[in-house]
């Protein structure tokens, strides 16, 4: 049987990984400034993570959501405390798309409306409603296009209100910092205005923190910088440090009822153990402070490079914008200098999404390589 050929692949085969490094089958070491697309939060194969997941597997790896699972309760408590979102309720699933799909569905149940407002350049995943709110017609099948979605420019509150006033919008979904779209972020006034408008017109504000959450920006969630409280917050990527887990945090104004949402694998024992290990390490190693320190260092160094047109993003969700397509540069970084970086919809943007354990000396290695390539 052949694989369904949907992924453009680098010809590299990682077989081992540790902290910010991955190793291929020949033992070549690569510096991972991509984190498997912002997934690796506490570093590859962190000893505490390996221990907790292995111990859990030796006890019980999975049972369905028809029994008591104290690990889910522990995860909700620990996550609430560390994210300062204690009053929210937690629903667990398996991926970012599934988190957004459930968020949108819940918004529709709650408001009894069905139109969605999303923003230009957005990416929310590939399931039905999530992909319909993604601004990329190439990945929206006719089946998905049946959802009623209006795309508005990020920052345009006037158009948002024009759409909301018709009173048929169940949800406004927004990445506070657009990931794949190219690291665009609007102002606190915009996000606060969005929150007020959603309340005024009884629509649910969904903050998609799938990429930006779990400490990646130096705050637990990116929206916290703007002093808002979304109705639903979706999470995945860094939540399991590679173990597939996603979830939504739901404001107490939205009530649960038995059977409303569900998932076979969501919140299984192994996934909870993985996410608890992530939270423990985030706190014990003070990784959000590390994110701030290393980010500042990176930005200072980037600003010294005349060939960099703009430094985008914040925390360790960063990008360097050039006046040329970066695809060849990325190839040279990975094959010549053994450094993984990321791309974006904006072809001139080189993205940096390392494990949150990355240190300044790793950033030095990157800039030395970059300088050689930009000569």
Ligand X SMILES: Cc1ncc(COP(=O)(O)O)c(C=O)c1O
**For ligand X, what does the binding mask look like between residues 124 and 163, x meaning CB under 6 A?**
xx--------------------------------------
Taking each helix axis as running N to C, give the angle between helix 157-164 and helix 188-200, from 0 to 180 degrees, rounded to the nearest 10.
10
Q: Taking contact as CB under 6 A, which single stretch among the options 174-182, 277-285, 296-304, 358-366 is the one that binds ligand X?
A: 174-182
Indicate whether 203 belongs to the interface with ligand X (CB under 6 A).
no
Decide: is 41 part of the binding site for ligand X (CB under 6 A). Answer: no
Name the one range near ligand X by CB under 6 A: 25-33, 117-125, 191-199, 316-324. Answer: 117-125
Contact 210, 125 (CB under 8 A): yes
Segment near ligand X (CB under 6 A), from 44-52, 118-126, 185-193, 266-274? 118-126
Q: Compute the distance between CA of residue 268 and CA of residue 65 in angstroms, rounded to an integer.
A: 8
Cβ closest to ligand X, residue 201 vs residue 220? 220
The answer to whether 247 and 76 are in contact (CB under 8 A) is no
Count the site residues for ligand X by CB under 6 A: 14
Residue 346 touching ligand X (CB under 6 A)? no
- Whether 355 and 242 have beta carbons less than 8 Å apart is answered as no
Is 196 buried (19+), middle (13-18) or exposed (0-12) by CB count in 10 A?
A: middle
What DSSP character marks residue 256?
P
State how far the Cα of 217 lies from the Cα of 285, in Å rounded to an integer: 16
Shortest distance in whole angstroms from residue 234 CB to ligand X: 7
Q: Is 179 an interacting residue with respect to ligand X (CB under 6 A)?
A: yes
239 binds ligand X (CB under 6 A): no
Among 35, 36, 96, 267, binds ligand X (CB under 6 A): 96
The per-residue b/e assignment along 213-243, b for 16 or more CB within 10 angstroms, e otherwise, is bbbbbbbbbbbbbbebebbbbbbbbbbbbbb
Binding test (CB under 6 A) with ligand X, winner from 101, 150, 185, 208: 208
Residues in touch with ligand X (CB under 6 A):
95-97, 100, 123-125, 175, 179-180, 208, 210-211, 236
């Amino acid at each position: 049987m052949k694989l369904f050929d949907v992924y453009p692949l680098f010809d590299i085969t990682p077989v081992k990984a540790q902290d910010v490094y991955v190793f291929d089958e020949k033992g070549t070491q690569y510096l991972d400034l991509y984190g498997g697309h912002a997934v690796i939060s506490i570093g590859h194969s962190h000893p505490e993570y390996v221990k907790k997941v292995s111990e859990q597997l030796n006890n019980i790896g999975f049972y369905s959501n028809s029994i008591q699972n104290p690990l889910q309760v522990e995860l909700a408590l620990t996550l609430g405390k560390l994210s300062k979102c204690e009053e929210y309720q937690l629903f667990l699933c398996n991926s970012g798309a599934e988190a957004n799909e459930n968020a949108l569905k819940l918004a529709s149940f709650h408001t009894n409306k069905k139109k969605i407002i999303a923003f230009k350049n957005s990416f929310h995943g590939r399931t039905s409603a999530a992909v319909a709110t993604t601004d990329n017609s190439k990945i929206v099948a006719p089946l998905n296009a049946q959802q009623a979605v209006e795309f508005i420019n990020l920052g345009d509150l006037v158009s948002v209100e024009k759409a909301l006033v018709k009173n048929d919008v169940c949800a406004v979904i927004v990445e506070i910092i657009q990931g794949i779209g190219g690291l665009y972020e609007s102002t606190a006034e915009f996000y606060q205005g969005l929150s007020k408008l959603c309340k005024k017109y009884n629509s649910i504000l969904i903050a998609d923190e799938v990429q930006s959450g779990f400490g990646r920006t130096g705050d637990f969630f990116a929206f916290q910088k703007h002093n808002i409280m979304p109705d639903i917050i979706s999470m995945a990527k860094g939540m399991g440090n590679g173990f597939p887990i996603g979830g939504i945090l739901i404001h107490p104004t939205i009530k649960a009822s038995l059977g409303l949402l569900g998932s076979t694998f969501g919140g299984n024992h192994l996934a909870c153990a993985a996410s608890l290990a992530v939270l423990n390490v985030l706190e014990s190693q003070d990784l959000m402070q590390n994110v701030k320190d290393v980010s500042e260092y990176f930005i200072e160094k980037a600003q010294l490079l005349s060939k960099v047109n703009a430094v985008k993003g914040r925390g360790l969700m960063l990008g360097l914008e050039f006046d040329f397509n970066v695809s060849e540069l990325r190839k040279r970084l990975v094959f010549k200098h053994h450094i993984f970086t990321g791309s974006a919809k904006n072809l001139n943007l080189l993205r940096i999404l390392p494990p949150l354990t990355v240190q300044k000396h790793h950033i030095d290695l990157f800039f030395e390589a970059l300088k050689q390539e930009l000569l």
